[in-house]
Each structure stands twice: as structure tokens, then as C-alpha cells.
């Protein structure tokens, strides 16, 4: 699991001259589940947006699948399509659940695979809602539809921004099981942001602690939780205010 699918070097993102992300060096391994934790505003979603090539960095380099991407370099459609993100507040089409899930494949010119879509909805506990109008769904149902839509692409990298934030305990364990299976069976590389440290421990192969846009600590999950090296990581895990 040591081959890097992403290599980040001296990656900085500024908004109005304020540095919100400043990562000197980070490798994300092919086939790993990397969990990112950190306080509100520490740059977690910004990191995912850069990994998804939604926004350019202010400076620095992202190497993805062997291709060097610098700010201002256009990223090919082929590369962008290897990565799919599920947002913190996903936007859905004003259509049925099934249409939403099938939509991404359609715009990408991929075959519809109706049977696979139905199985996917079934796995996410959404089968009974397939014909429902997406805007009428609850927050947790919407989040699961967004995840189904992302999985329908079969991306090489899945970026998940607090994917279980709105879910009840049953659906949390359903989604966690799905993430684990997807990683194991298809080798999907997963970068998952969560505020739930128990979830980080359950799912992460490695865990990174982001603070003020910097990676304070990154370690195998077991080590991260049992023997955190940095005092700020320990404070964060103890529920103290860290800055």
C-alpha cells in the first residue's frame, strides 16, 4: 500500500491573502482509507476541493496518478473523472432519486447499468425511495443519494466530506460498511473527513490531523489514537480547544 496516488508538495491555498491550507508534504496511498480530522475551519473541505481539482491551489504541486498539476495547469477530463467528491451539503437534481443516481453515468457517456443502480440503491437503504422526488427527501436520505450517485461512477478516488453527519446510527453503520467494502473489493482510494473520532478509528487505515491548514500529525490509525505524538493532537482527541 505504499504507492502514492496523490503527492502534495508545498501546497498552499489562500483566500483574500489568508492562508487556509499549507501542506509541505503529503502522500495519499493508492487503495488506502485516509481519514482527515480537525476543528471547524482547519481546511479539511478546502483540501478535498483541491484534490477534486475543483479549485486551483495558490501555489505548490499536486501530483496525481503520475501527472504533475501546478496552479493554472488545466487538468484533463480523464484525470478529473478518476476522482469523485461527496459534498458536506450535496446538491441534487430536481428529479427522482433513481435519475439522480444514474445521472453522472449518463453525462459521462457511461452505459446506464440499471440493474447495478438498483442494487446500489438497495445497499444504501434507498430502494423504496427510487421513484421519489429528490427535493422531498430528508437530510440523511439526501446524503445517501449523493453517495449512491458518486459510487455509480466507480471512481478510483472517492472524497467524502462528513458523509454520515446527518445519519441515524443504523445508517451510519450501513454507510461505514459500504465504504469498507468498496475499499476492500474495488481498491477505491478513500479520503474521508469526519468529526467523529470513533468513526475515524473504525474506518481509517491512516488518520491525519489538520490544524490551521497544516498537517500536524499523520499516522496509522492505531498509533494515531493510542500514541499521538503531538501535544495538539492529544488535546484535540481529549476534546479540548486547540489552535
Binding site for ligand ATP (CB under 6 A): 15, 20, 38, 40-46
Provide, rounded to whole angstroms, the least separation between the CB of residue 209 and ligand ATP. 11
C-beta of 68 vs 89, nearer to ligand ATP = 89
Q: How far is the CB of 45 from Mg ion (least distance, A)?
A: 3
Looking at beta carbons only, is 41 or 187 nearer to ligand ATP?
Answer: 41
Write the DSSP string, the chain.
---EEEEEEEEEEEETTEEEEEEEEEEEETT-EEEEE--TTSSHHHHHHHHTTSS--SEEEEEETTEEE-TTPPPPHHHHTTEEEE-SS----SSBHHHHHHHHHHHTT----HHHHHHHHHHTT-GGGTTSBGGGS-HHHHHHHHHHHHHHT--SEEEEESTTTT--HHHHHHHHHHHHHHHHHH--EEEEE-S-HHHHHHH-SEEEEEETTEEEEEEEHHHHHHS--SHHHHHHHTT----
Judge contact between 194 and 215, C-beta under 8 A.
no
Q: How far is CA 88 from CA 17, 36, 44, 134, 157, in A?
A: 25, 14, 11, 17, 17
Q: Tell me which residue has its CB nearest to Mg ion.
A: 45
**Least CB distance from residue 79 to ligand ATP, whole Å?**
22
Binding site for Mg ion (CB under 5 A): 45
The option from ligand ATP, Mg ion, none interacting with 15 (CB < 5 to 8 A, set by class) reads ligand ATP
41 interacts with, out of Mg ion, ligand ATP, none, CB within 5 to 8 A per kind: ligand ATP
User: Which of Mg ion, ligand ATP, none has residue 177 at its interface (CB below 5 to 8 Å by kind)?
Assistant: none
**Shortest distance in whole angstroms from residue 44 CB to ligand ATP:** 3
Whichever of 15 and 198 has its CB closer to ligand ATP, that residue is 15
The residue among 151 and 193 lying less far from ligand ATP, judged by its C-beta, is 193
Cβ-based nearer residue to Mg ion, 73 or 89: 89
Q: How far is the CB of 87 from ligand ATP (least distance, A)?
A: 11
Minimum distance from CB of 57 to Mg ion (Å)?
A: 17
- Residue 46 binds which entry of Mg ion, ligand ATP, none, CB below 5-8 Å type-dependent: ligand ATP
Amino acid at each position: 500500500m505504499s504507492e502514492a496516488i496523490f503527492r502534495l508538495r508545498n501546497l498552499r491555498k489562500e483566500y483574500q491573502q489568508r492562508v487556509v491550507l499549507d501542506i509541505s508534504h503529503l502522500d495519499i496511498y493508492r487503495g488506502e482509507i485516509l481519514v482527515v480530522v480537525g476543528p471547524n475551519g482547519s481546511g479539511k473541505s478546502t483540501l478535498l476541493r483541491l484534490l477534486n481539482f475543483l479549485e486551483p491551489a495558490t501555489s505548490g504541486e499536486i501530483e496525481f496518478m503520475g501527472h504533475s498539476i501546478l496552479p493554472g495547469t488545466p487538468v484533463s477530463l480523464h484525470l478529473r473523472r478518476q476522482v469523485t467528491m461527496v459534498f458536506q451539503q450535496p446538491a441534487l437534481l430536481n428529479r427522482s432519486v433513481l435519475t439522480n443516481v444514474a445521472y453522472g453515468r449518463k453525462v459521462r457517456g457511461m452505459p446506464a447499468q440499471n440493474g447495478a443502480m438498483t442494487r446500489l440503491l438497495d445497499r444504501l437503504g434507498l430502494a423504496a425511495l427510487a421513484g421519489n422526488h429528490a427535493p422531498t427527501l430528508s437530510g440523511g436520505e439526501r446524503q445517501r443519494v449523493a453517495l449512491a450517485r458518486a459510487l455509480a461512477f466507480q471512481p478510483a478516488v472517492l472524497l467524502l466530506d462528513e458523509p454520515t453527519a446527518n445519519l441515524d446510527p443504523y445508517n451510519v453503520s450501513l454507510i461505514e460498511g459500504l465504504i469498507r467494502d468498496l475499499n476492500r473489493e474495488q481498491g477505491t482510494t478513500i479520503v474521508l473527513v469526519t468529526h467523529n473520532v470513533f468513526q475515524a478509528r473504525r474506518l481509517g487505515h491512516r488518520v491525519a490531523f489538520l490544524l490551521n491548514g497544516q498537517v500536524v500529525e499523520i499516522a496509522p490509525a492505531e498509533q494515531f489514537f493510542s500514541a499521538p505524538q503531538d501535544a495538539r493532537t492529544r488535546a484535540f482527541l481529549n476534546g479540548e480547544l486547540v489552535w
